[in-house]
Amino acid sequence: MAASATTFVQSFFHGTRADLKPGDLIVVGYRSNFITDPLSWVYFSGTLDAAIWGAELAAGGGRQRIYVVEPTGPIMDDPNLTDKKFPGNPTLSYRSRDPLRIIGELTGWQGHSPEQIQQMKDGLARLTAEGANTIID
């Protein structure tokens, strides 16, 4: 049996409010937490902190969730963060056009303070007002 061409040696995380279960796929074509247009990429991170931000900023009223995910195809650095905010990709933020498979849900994680979340939301609102809150899709 041939080995997979894509082998990952670390855990990947996806923060959301979607209610999913192991084996489910996160696929392209849904809106992001930041814009209303459907995206042609799925986004995920190799750091828990980045996934926590994703869950905390996710639209909707569902429970904030962090899923451990497995990419099913090629991945690349997320240019929305690595090119714009964090050169060198210290947040280990990635994207793929292929689905992410849910491996499990991480529970018991510690979120950011209400003040930190409000500061982030205020910053995003300011970027939106300035027309600078765009996603390279």
Query: Is 76 inside any structural domain?
Result: yes
Confidence of residue 9 (pLDDT cuts 50, 70, 90): low
Q: Which of 72, 71, 24 is nearest to 46 (CA)?
A: 71
pTM: predicted TM-score of the whole model, two decimal places: 0.82
Q: How many angstroms separate the CA atoms of 21 and 46, rounded?
A: 20
Residue 4: predicted pLDDT: 44
Residue 35: predicted pLDDT: 58
Range of the domain at 56: 12-129
Q: Compute the average pLDDT of residues 83-88.
A: 64
For residue range 29-47, what is the model confidence (pLDDT) as tens digits? 876 665 566 678 899 999 9
Identify the residue with better confidence: 47 or 137. Answer: 47
Going along the chain, which residue ranges are E strands?
12-16, 25-26, 42-45, 65-71, 76-77, 93-96, 100-106
CA atoms within 13 A on the CB side of 123: 7
Query: Is 5 inside any structural domain?
Result: no
CATH number at residue 59: 3.20.170.40
Query: Is 58 inside any structural domain?
Result: yes
How many structural domains are present in the chain?
1
Query: Is 135 inside any structural domain?
Result: no
The pLDDT of residue 61 is above 90:
no
The pLDDT of residue 1 is above 50:
no
Query: Is 134 inside any structural domain?
Result: no
Query: Is 54 inside any structural domain?
Result: yes
